[in-house]
Every structure is written in C-alpha cells, then in structure tokens.
C-alpha cells in the first residue's frame, strides 16, 4: 500500500480516529533529506500492514506542521490513539525507522 496523503481535511479520520498506530512523515518537496527518506517510507507502507503510514506536506498543511512542532523536516512521528508516542528527526536509514515503529507493530 502507498502512504496516505494526510491533510487538514482527513487528519481527524485517518490519524486521530485510527484504530492502528500511524507513522507520519512531515516533508516538503524542496527538502533534500525528505527526498532521501521518502522511498524508505514508501517501502515501509508497502511492507508493514499493522501500522498506517501517511505523509504530511508541510507547505500545503502548515497548521498540522505547527500543531506538532515540525520546525525541522523530515520529522517522523508515531501516533497511537491520537497521541505522539515516538518520534525521529532527520533522514535516517530504514533500520532506524523500523526500530521506531517496532514497538507498535504487533
């Protein structure tokens, strides 16, 4: 499955009301490190079915970026029951992202 495009319009349904944990990638098209980690996020979305994976374009959704304090990107957050339970900043190898979500994928 591909990552969901999370926006102000679908955030409540896709993230806050999700029964699954949600991995969110805060990114922007002009961000070099975001482009580096993007394929990793795509792979995880395709490989891991027990966590929902979404991407938030900070340029198109500045309110969501502000809500979660996404001052630097890429920023990865894991939300469970609408609460941030884990986070990782910067372009990191796939193993680090898998480590981040490991406690939440049963």
- Which positions are annotated as active-site residues? 31, 34
35-68: b (≥16 Cβ within 10 Å) or e: eebbebbbebbeebeebbbbbbbbeebeebbeeb
**Listed residue (44, 57, 42) closest to 100, CA to CA:** 44
The CA-based angle 7-97-91, given to 5 degrees, is: 75
Tokens standing for residue 27: 């990114």
Task: Give the integer Cα–Cα distance in Å for 60 and 91.
Answer: 21
């Amino acid at each position: 499955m591909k990552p969901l495009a999370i926006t102000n319009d679908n955030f409540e349904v896709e993230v806050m009301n999700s029964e699954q944990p949600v991995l969110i990638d805060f990114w922007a098209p002009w961000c070099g490190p975001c482009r580096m980690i993007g394929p990793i996020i795509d792979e995880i979305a395709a490989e891991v079915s027990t966590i929902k994976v979404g991407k938030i374009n900070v340029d198109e959704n500045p309110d969501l970026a502000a809500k979660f304090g996404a001052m630097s990107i890429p920023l990865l957050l894991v939300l469970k029951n609408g609460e941030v339970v884990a986070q990782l900043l910067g372009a990191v190898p796939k193993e680090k992202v898998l480590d981040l979500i490991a406690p939440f994928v049963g």
